């Protein structure tokens, strides 16, 4: 039992475990769980979270990364009894007992995916009702959601990037699944999911549209690694494009100009 729990802890944390492997390697099941824009790993589905099942070989040569592009992850591993079984997880749930503190270095950020749209005149007709509804439901600036859609796909619901991003909002498959999207090419689902994702990014970055756009393009991990917009040529150009479009869409929607950013006194 001690061997099994030690091995599972290593798999959960994406670490190499120094212990003898069983004669016949087995597959271990780990669940990647999402709740309120936070990610956790668990050996059983977490109550109240959306969990995706992952199977990992004991003898995998490289520790599996189930965290995604989150940069350096620091947290606590807990154990709890669930349905009569001992369960390990990285989210503090009722009845959970801390086992150890951990630090995991995930990949530094996925390369930016290209936007397909070009800066041009605002387009208010494509999916106008869907954009208004999604922006209102997620309490996010309608003009910003449209600016992202314009930069990403030029409002083409069938757009597909070389890296596999899909639909109007060009969401990556894993992101789409975590947002509850069943069809990444359905324009209504894509717009709702994109607005929800942008809302979470703006909460993360305290309303900073620049960092939210950078994270949408290059990933949260890349923004964390560089402390702001990553120095990728594509991302720098993408952010400039979105910022220009954001201004144009606010004007087209007859919204007041954004307040200028505060700067430190020189």
Q: Hey, which residues are catalytic here?
A: 152
What is the β-pairing status of strands 72-82 and 85-89?
Answer: antiparallel
252 — phi, psi (to 5°)?
-65, -35
Name the one residue in this structure whose structure tokens are 């189930």: 66
State how far the Cα of 7 lies from the Cα of 3, in Å rounded to an integer. 6
Question: SS3 helix, strand, coil % of the chain, rounded to 5?
Answer: 35, 20, 45
Contacts by 250-255, CB closer than 8 A, 24 or more apart: 250/141, 250/143, 251/122, 252/122, 252/124, 252/143, 253/124, 253/142, 253/143, 255/141, 255/142, 255/143
Name the one residue in this structure whose structure tokens are 């749209």: 117
Q: How far is CA 251 from CA 82, 109, 112, 142, 256, in A?
A: 54, 34, 28, 12, 7
């Amino acid at each position: 039992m001690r061997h099994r729990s030690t091995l599972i802890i290593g798999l959960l944390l994406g670490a190499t475990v120094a212990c003898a492997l069983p004669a016949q390697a087995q597959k271990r099941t780990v669940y990647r769980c999402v709740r309120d824009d936070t990610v956790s790993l668990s050996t059983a589905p977490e109550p109240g979270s959306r969990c995706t099942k992952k199977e990992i070989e004991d003898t995998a040569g490289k520790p599996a990364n189930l965290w995604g592009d989150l940069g350096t992850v620091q947290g606590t591993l807990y154990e709890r009894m669930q349905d009569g079984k001992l369960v390990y997880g990285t989210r503090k749930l009722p009845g959970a007992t801390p086992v150890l503190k951990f630090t995991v270095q995930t990949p530094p950020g996925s390369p930016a995916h290209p936007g397909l749209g070009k800066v041009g005149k605002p387009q208010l007709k494509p999916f106008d009702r869907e954009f208004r509804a999604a922006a209102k439901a997620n309490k996010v600036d309608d003009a910003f959601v449209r600016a992202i859609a314009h930069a990403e796909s030029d409002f083409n619901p069938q757009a597909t990037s070389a890296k596999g991003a899909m639909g109007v909002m060009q969401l990556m498959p894993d992101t789409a699944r975590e947002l509850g999207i069943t069809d990444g090419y359905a324009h209504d689902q894509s717009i709702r999911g994109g607005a929800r994702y942008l809302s979470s990014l703006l909460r993360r970055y305290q309303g900073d549209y620049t960092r939210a756009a950078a994270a949408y393009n290059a990933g949260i991990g890349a923004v964390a690694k560089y402390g702001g917009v990553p120095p990728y040529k594509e991302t720098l150009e993408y952010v400039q494009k979105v910022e220009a479009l954001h201004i144009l869409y606010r004007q087209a929607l007859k919204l007041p100009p954004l307040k200028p950013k505060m700067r430190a006194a020189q």
